[in-house]
């Protein structure tokens, strides 16, 4: 099992956490926006016997401005990370999964990829693109017995997502979750992803939309009285 990500310290921590579990986790520092980095990842995986499952979870949002006021560089970063990053990984490893004969690809997208909202244009565009990529891939790879799963989370509270989106403004980041007593957590999403890929291979959970109970829809979020 391999874990690929940009931050060496996070990978080492994850590897340590998994050390006592079944099997071993091999950390590989990887940037999904860099072709050479992905080639190095592929070489490492191939050398150690290959894989049959890919979880594309790299992504993120930057900025909450309107379309009129958005920064082009923010949109470029979001599309490059969310869409092109997934595409690079998929194209690199697809032959390996086809050769295996029963491969799985899971793309972590977002409910922002199905419903647009004010201030979310760039993130919507990126996640709509990743959502469309996933749907096309499922149609194209069924004949190769490759299972394509899409997990679409709603409001997930993590240490970095909103903080990065608000450019380090902790107050604005906290407002995203204000009054929501039980948003989803990263652990919740991980549990759903693990469930989907560990089902018998003939079962394909095409799309799994997951939200906290307080978020009945993209536009309806119940905030508890403080």
pLDDT at 96 over 80: yes
Residue 144: CB partners within 8 Å, gap ≥ 6?
A: 97, 98, 103
* 48 DSSP assignment: T
The CA-atom distances, in angstroms, between 31 and each of 37, 111, 184, 185, 217 are 6, 24, 26, 24, 33
User: CATH second-level architecture of 50-221?
Assistant: 3-Layer(aba) Sandwich (3.40)
What pLDDT sits at residue 225? 64
Radius of gyration of the chain (CA): 18
Catalytic residues: 123
How many other CB atoms sit within 10 Å of the CB of residue 173?
Answer: 19
Task: Encode pLDDT of 116-175 as tens digits.
Answer: 999 999 999 999 999 999 999 999 999 999 999 999 999 999 988 898 899 888 999 999
Q: What is the mean pLDDT of the chain?
A: 93
- Domain extents in the chain: 50-221
| φ, ψ dihedrals at 128, nearest 5° | -60, -40
Residue 172: CB partners within 8 Å, gap ≥ 6?
A: 64, 162, 166
What predicted TM-score, i.e. pTM, was given to this entire model? 0.92
């Amino acid at each position: 099992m391999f874990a690929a990500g940009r931050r060496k310290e996070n990978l080492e921590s994850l590897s340590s956490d998994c050390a006592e579990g079944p099997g071993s986790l091999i950390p590989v520092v990887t940037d999904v926006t860099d072709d050479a980095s992905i080639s190095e990842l592929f070489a490492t995986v191939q050398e150690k016997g290959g894989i049959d499952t890919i979880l594309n979870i790299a992504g993120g949002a930057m900025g909450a401005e309107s379309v009129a006021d958005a920064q082009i560089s923010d949109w470029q970063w979001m599309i490059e990370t969310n869409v092109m990053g997934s595409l690079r990984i998929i194209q690199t490893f697809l032959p390996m999964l086809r050769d295996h004969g029963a491969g799985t690809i899971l793309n972590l997208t977002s409910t922002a990829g199905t419903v647009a909202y004010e201030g979310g244009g760039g993130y919507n565009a990126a996640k709509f693109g990743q959502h469309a990529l996933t749907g096309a891939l499922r149609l194209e790879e069924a004949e190769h017995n490759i299972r394509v799963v899409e997990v679409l989370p709603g409001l997930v509270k993590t240490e970095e997502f909103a903080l990065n989106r608000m450019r380090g403004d902790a107050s604005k980041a906290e407002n995203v979750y204000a009054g929501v007593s039980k948003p989803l957590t990263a652990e919740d999403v991980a549990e759903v992803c693990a469930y989907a890929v560990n089902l018998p291979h003939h079962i394909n959970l095409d799309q799994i939309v997951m939200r906290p109970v307080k978020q009945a829809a993209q536009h309806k979020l119940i905030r508890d009285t403080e």
